[in-house]
Structure 1
Amino acid sequence: MSSPSTFDRFTGSPAIRRLIRWCITLLVVGLVLWFAGGTVRQGWQQLSTSDIDISWPWVALSAGLYIVGLAPMAFYWRLALGSLGERPPLLAVVRGYYLGHLGKYVPGKAMVAVLRTGALVQSGCRPRSTVVSVFLETLSFMATGGMLAALLLVASGDAPAQYAWLSAGLALLVGLPITPPIARKLAGRVLAKQQAEGDQPTSSLLAGITWRLTAAGVACSTIAWTLLGLSLWAAVRSVGTTGAGPFAQLALWIEAVTLPVVAGFLSLIPGGAFVRDFLQVELLAPALPEGTSALLAAGLWRLISVSSEGAICGILEASRLCRRQRPTSDDTT
């Protein structure tokens, strides 16, 4: 047997491995902060050139609704992980879920899976199972968004017919891979590559991907999209009047969130920039009272969403670090 090379001996050192992990972590964090920060800077510049007074209590309400609105999908992600045989702690799932949202501002969208998988591998989850669960959660959210947009646009009849067709097409595109027969086949190919001696058989793990899990994803996604629609309403309310309360035009707020976000996701543009903003303005402008800028409202909601994601990630990470530094009972005796 050949002796290990100098490179193998060098990288085999625990200190070197820790250094490599730290360098990779810093690189990932740097990329996320750079691209997410660029989105914040762009939104702030747009707002700073406007003469409209912003009502900050409404902004705070919008931010709170946005963070709470994402929570149902963190719950569904944990269900998806459980269906694949993973049982990570709840706080690790919540932290990983919100952290992953910052990855969508990095070109290519892959950073979402990287951040979430990295967060849960630390809790003992297998990488490939976690990646499969990430795609189940993401595609469930987007497919439900597309279906909601199509149904509401057809029911209201206010928007051009092509938007309803676009929504239906997007829902079909991202919805097919999460139907249990197709999802089990795709997940089986991924999980088979990580099968090790003593592991639970892949077939028994795939049995957890059922229509019941799909229905749970649709239910959680519907709640999430509704709360995000209310978040958009509060953002619009902060720069003007909406003409009515949130529930009188609830269909409008959900339409103006679902179609732009789903289309932006499939565009592969970081954060869905331009695509999301264009469609949101197109849907909002005809319905808003005179004097309320749809463009300003869309820009503000984007700024609120990015800032809220960054804030909750900072809070969760600080909480994790505090728990790690807290002395155990053995240390205090």
Structure 2
Amino acid sequence: MDRARVLTVVRVVVAAVTLAAVVYAVARNWADVSVHLGKVSFGTFAWSTLAAAVGTWLTMLGWRTILRDLGSDLHLAPATGVYFVGQLGKYLPGSLWSVIVQADIAAHLRVPRRRTAVTGLLALGFALLTGLLVGLPSVAFLLRQSSAGFPWWLLLAVPIGVVLLVPRLLNWCISTLLRLIRRPPLEHELSARAVLTAVATFVLVWLCFGVHTWLLATAVAGDAPHPDLATAALTGYALSVSLGMLLIILPAGLGAREGLLTLILSTAIPTPAAAAVAIMSRFIVTLLDVVAALVGWVYARSHDLVSERRERAVGSELGSR
């Protein structure tokens, strides 16, 4: 068995074990979890879904900001087609399939593949770093630390801020990477304005998803919410998803994200209630991803950005991996 197949087997096994552990934990406490799921009213569900939808839309705008600054100014409609169809690739083990699919579709719009690929990787990087930044207050909850004393974990914001706010360093990293893989350099460098705009956009993304989580958590908490619930909910989603992104062997952080969010929220509400929030959040976000991809695919299909032959080729390539 060659190395590629060994890695594939390892990824599948780890993903299956993680998912099985989460399913087992939920099933064991399903009686309590289901009670809390029933506490979420239709109105709360709708507002929470709206907050997540705004966050989902903003992710595309952040990606589009980077692509435009690198030289390809796509209008909203084609950008939607490229970005959201590609986003379904994150549900495959490896987490980088979204970048590959986006580059393939954008090529039909005469966007160089390396430009789209760099944009996708930068968007993932910005999302990860801003997610860690927004999620820093939840580190204390995750580590079960007391809030007394100096919050040393805030110092982690320093290196994150340096990376995000120094375009020269980012441009050097991009040019070095392209040179190492023997690809031509990009025609345009990232500007400071584009970096700041993208960073601000992704911070708003995480805040929207934080509101989405807080609405669900408040609903299941009942009449006596814990004083730390707002902080845990508003920042816990960003931290759990960002840490889940680092586990690239898991599709969209499946299992790890829910486990981490449950741990963070369980410091403020009962564990079954926290699990209910994590489950409902995953359902809402996945549903939005599918709907957004469907809308994007309809546009892409109607404008010949994808074809049946290319769809079969991409599907075959993804399936073979």
Normalising by structure 2, report the TM-score: 0.70
CA RMSD, aligned part only? Answer: 4.0
What CA distance in whole angstroms lies between the structure 2 residues aligned with 1:160 and 1:241? Answer: 25
Alignment pair present for 1:210 and 2:191:
yes
Question: What CA deviation, in whole Å up to 9, does each residue of 1:67-97 have, x standing for no partner?
Answer: 2112223222222112211122321212322
- Cα distance in 2 for partners of 1:307, 1:204 equals 37
Q: Distance in 2 between matches of 1:280 and 1:167?
A: 20
> What are the Cα deviations for residues 266-311 of structure 1, in whole angstroms up to 9, with x where unaligned?
01122212321222111111212x6961112111111111111101
- 1:108 counterpart = 2:94: yes
Match of 1:59 in 2: 45
> Does the CA-based 8 Å contact 1:229-1:250 persist in structure 2?
no
Contact persistence 1:95–1:317 (CA under 8 A): yes
Q: How does 1:141-160 map to 2 (within 5 A)?
A: 141-150=127-136, 152-153=137-138, 159-160=144-145
CA distance in 2, matches of 1:169, 1:60: 35
CA contact (8 A) 2:91 2:252 kept: yes
For 1:101-157, what per-residue CA distance to the aligned partner results, in whole angstroms no more than 9, with x for missing partners? 32222111121211222232221110001111111111111101111222x348999
Partner SS state of residue 122, structure 1: helix
Matched, 1:234 2:234: no
Paired residue for 2:258?
277
Q: When the two structures are aligned, how many residues end up with a matched partner? A: 275
With over 3 angstroms needed to count, the CA separation of the structure-2 counterparts of 1:291 and 1:79, relative to structure 1, is: closer
Matches within 5 A, 1:1-333: 50-52=33-35, 53=38, 54-150=40-136, 152-153=137-138, 159-160=144-145, 172=159, 176=163, 179-189=166-176, 193=182, 195=184, 202=185, 205-206=188-189, 209-237=190-218, 239=220, 241=222, 243=224, 250-268=230-248, 269-288=250-269, 293-321=273-301
Which amino acid letter does the alignment assign opposite residue 79 of structure 2? Answer: V
CA distance in 1, matches of 2:128, 2:299: 30
Identical aligned residues as a percent: 19
Residues 128 and 319 from structure 1, CA distance in 2 versus in 1: closer, same or farther, beyond 3 angstroms? closer
Q: Structure 1 residues 262, 165: closer, same or farther in 2, change over 3 A?
A: farther
CA distance in 2, matches of 1:310, 1:171: 36
Superposition deviation, residue 323 in structure 1: 6.4
Q: CA deviation at 1:203?
A: 7.1
8 Å CA contact 2:44, 2:215 repeated in 1 = yes
8 Å CA contact retained: 2:139, 2:153:
no
Distance in 1 between the 2:122 and 2:142 partners? 31
Q: More displaced, 46-55 or 135-144? A: 46-55
Q: Which moved more, 1:51-60 or 1:99-108?
A: 51-60
CA–CA distance in structure 2, aligned partners of residues 87 and 108 of structure 1 = 28
Normalised by the size of structure 1, how large is the TM-score? 0.68
Deviations 1:151-208 (A, max 9, x none): x34899995279x87787699579748842332123224666554xxxxxx47612xx
Structure 1 gap segments, 5+ residues each? 1-34, 196-201, 325-333
* Distance in 2, Cα, partners of 1:319 & 1:287: 43
CA distance in 2, matches of 1:210, 1:276: 33
Which stretch has the larger CA shift, 87-96 or 181-190? 181-190
Q: Which whole-Å CA distance do the structure 2 matches of 1:285 and 1:234 have between them? A: 15
Aligned AA for 1:187? I
Greater Rg by CA: 1
Rounded Cα–Cα distance in structure 2 between residues aligned with 1:126 and 1:60 = 39
**Contact residue 217 and residue 233 of structure 2 kept, 8 A:** no
Cα separation, 1, equivalents of 2:95 and 2:279:
21
Distance 1:300 1:204 in 2: 44
Following superposition, the deviation at residue 262 of structure 1 comes to: 0.7
User: Contact 1:260 / 1:276 at 8 angstroms: preserved in 2?
Assistant: yes
Judged with a 3 Å threshold, the aligned counterparts in structure 2 of structure 1 residues 315 and 243 are, in CA distance, closer, same or farther, namely farther
Provide Cα deviations, 1:30-54, integer angstroms capped at 9, x if missing partner: xxxxx9xx99xx69x9698654225
CA contact (8 A) 1:58 1:234 kept: yes
More deviation, 223-232/235-244:
235-244
Could you list the per-position Cα deviations for residues 234-263 of structure 1 after superposition, in whole angstroms to 9, with x for gaps in the alignment?
A: 333554537569x99543222211110110
Moved more, 230-239 or 48-57: 48-57
Farther-moved stretch of structure 1 (211-220 vs 261-270): 211-220
